């Protein structure tokens, strides 16, 4: 799916977050977004950068802009 200039894929395999991150690393996907139980409460997601492995929590409304700024 492409929205706001950002391509996305959903991994709903039921694997742990760590295994999903490992899968995205193997594919060379530069950013991974994690939707979790906190997302349902506060409309935020965790964004992880492949190169630095840094993770930040940010509002869903800021994801597209942040990804576009980083690329």
In the predicted model, what is the mean pLDDT of residues 10-23?
A: 82
**How many other C-beta atoms are found inside a 10 Å radius of the C-beta of residue 32?**
19
Asked if residue 9 has pLDDT above 80, the reply is no
d(CA 71, CA 59) in angstroms, rounded, equals 19
Q: Which has more confidence, 47 or 17?
A: 47
Q: What is the pLDDT of residue 3?
A: 67
2-3 and 6-7 beta bridge pairing: antiparallel
Apex 14 CA angle, 8 and 20, nearest 5: 55
Half-sphere exposure of 52 (CA within 13 A, CB side): 7
CB atoms within 10 A of CB 47: 19
Contact assessment for residue 6 and residue 68, using Cβ atoms and an 8 Å cutoff = yes
Residue 57: the pLDDT is: 96
For the domain made up of 2-70, the CATH class stated in words is: alpha beta
pLDDT band at 18 (very low <50, low <70, confident <90, very high): confident
Per-residue pLDDT tens over the stretch 22-70: 888 888 888 888 888 999 999 999 998 888 889 899 999 998 888 888 7
Q: What pLDDT is recorded for position 13?
A: 81
């Amino acid at each position: 799916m492409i929205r706001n200039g950002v391509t996305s894929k959903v991994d709903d395999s039921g694997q742990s977050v760590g295994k999903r991150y490992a899968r995205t690393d193997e594919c060379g996907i530069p950013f991974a977004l994690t939707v979790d139980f906190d997302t349902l409460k506060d409309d935020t997601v965790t964004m992880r950068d492949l190169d630095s492995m840094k993770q930040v929590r940010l509002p869903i409304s800021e994801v597209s802009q942040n990804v576009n700024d980083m690329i």
